[in-house]
Amino acid sequence: MPINIFEYLNFREFLKDAYKTEHANNWRFSHRYIAEIGRFDATLFNKILQGKRNLTGRFVSVFADIFCKEPKEKSYFMDMVAFNQAKNYTEQRKFLERLMAAKECRVEPLAKDQFEYFDEWYHSVIRELLTIYPYVGDDYELGLMVRPPISASQVKASIALLERLEMIRKKEHGYYEQTCGFVTSGSESYNTAVNAYVQQNLKVALSAMDRFPNTERNLSTLVFSCDEGCYEEMVEMVRRFRRELLTKAGECKNPNRVFQFGAQLFPLSDPYPPPIRRGRKRRIRGSKKVDNK
């Protein structure tokens, strides 16, 4: 069954699925075959799928010609690449709107919701609180349940947003329930919006040290050394652990409080031997000597 490009917002995910479909129908359709058509190195396609290389210039048109049949599909693919590789929020918005303008696109609610849902850190908190708090319009009281507290107007606006995005709905007795399970950004497609959301939550986590005693919080940090291969394995371990946490939370029979879990894994040094940078005057032991000419 052919895949529908208009159901995608991440060009790498589209390329992966499109390749699998083509390869299943024709075993000769391989990475090497694609490289021969595009006249590039045979390893390039795999690097693009893994996120190690971006699509630039000629390659955008090459892959559009290979995997898209109609002009409208090629145009959508090019906008999708531009959206995923946008360097700032303004560019992302611009290309997202162009993607949404495609008639066949059936992901509009999810795509537009992501930006608004991640605008404020407390939208997710309110959404979770409504599953355990019998809200009946008492915005002020519900706002006091949040830590740190938010105003009644913020609560009201948040609930209105969640209703409009169809993330919550009223039950027969007047209380709210979630319309779906856990919410995720889904992919790096929403980098700018999600990064802002993460920054807000990091600030909330920092203030938690003063707002809660040790018995009510668990904050820790690790510093260690490893190589790139080990790092990739650790990233996957973090992903698995997050899934395990969500599974455990989903199994909880009587939830009575909203929690946040945050995990950060980032470098604190250059690799060794260090990369050669312009202006580096001090030679580091083990690095190759470079003559400045």
pLDDT, tens digit (0-9, with 9 covering 90-100), for 73-106: 999 999 999 989 988 878 887 888 777 766 443 3
Domains by residue range for the chain, with CATH: 5-104 (1.10.260)
> Can the peptide bond before residue 267 be classed as cis, meaning omega within 30 degrees of 0?
no
d(CA 210, CA 255): 24
| Full 3-state SS string of 34-62 | HHHHHCCCCCHHHHHHCCCCCCCCHHHHH
Whether the CB-CB separation of 22 and 29 falls below 8 Å is answered with yes
pLDDT, tens digit (0-9, with 9 covering 90-100), for 277-288: 666 555 656 555
Residue type, 205: A
Helix axes 31-38, 58-67, angle to 10 degrees: 120
108's CB contacts (< 8 A; 6+ apart) are 100
| Whole-Å CA distances, 60 to 6, 7, 36 | 17, 19, 16
Give the residue among 138, 99, 92 at the shortest CA–CA distance from 118.
92
Say what the pLDDT of residue 23 is. Answer: 87
Say what the pLDDT of residue 278 is. Answer: 62
Return the CA Rg of the chain. 24
Say what the pLDDT of residue 174 is. Answer: 76
Helix axes 58-67, 11-25, angle to 10 degrees: 40
Residue type, 137: G
Residue type, 38: G
- DSSP class per residue in 155-211: HHHHHHHHHHTTSEEE-TTS-EEESSS-----SGGGHHHHHHHHHHHHHHHHHHHHH
Say what the pLDDT of residue 283 is. Answer: 60
Say what the pLDDT of residue 113 is. Answer: 46
For 72, counting Cβ atoms within 10 Å of its Cβ (0-12 exposed, 13-18 middle, 19+ buried), the class is: middle
Give the residue among 21, 35, 10, 256 at the shortest CA–CA distance from 128.
256
**Ranges of the chain with pLDDT below 70:** 1-2, 101-115, 180-193, 277-293
Question: In the chain, at which residue ranges do the beta strands (DSSP E only) sit?
Answer: 168-170, 176-178
Locate 235 and state its tokens.
């990233």
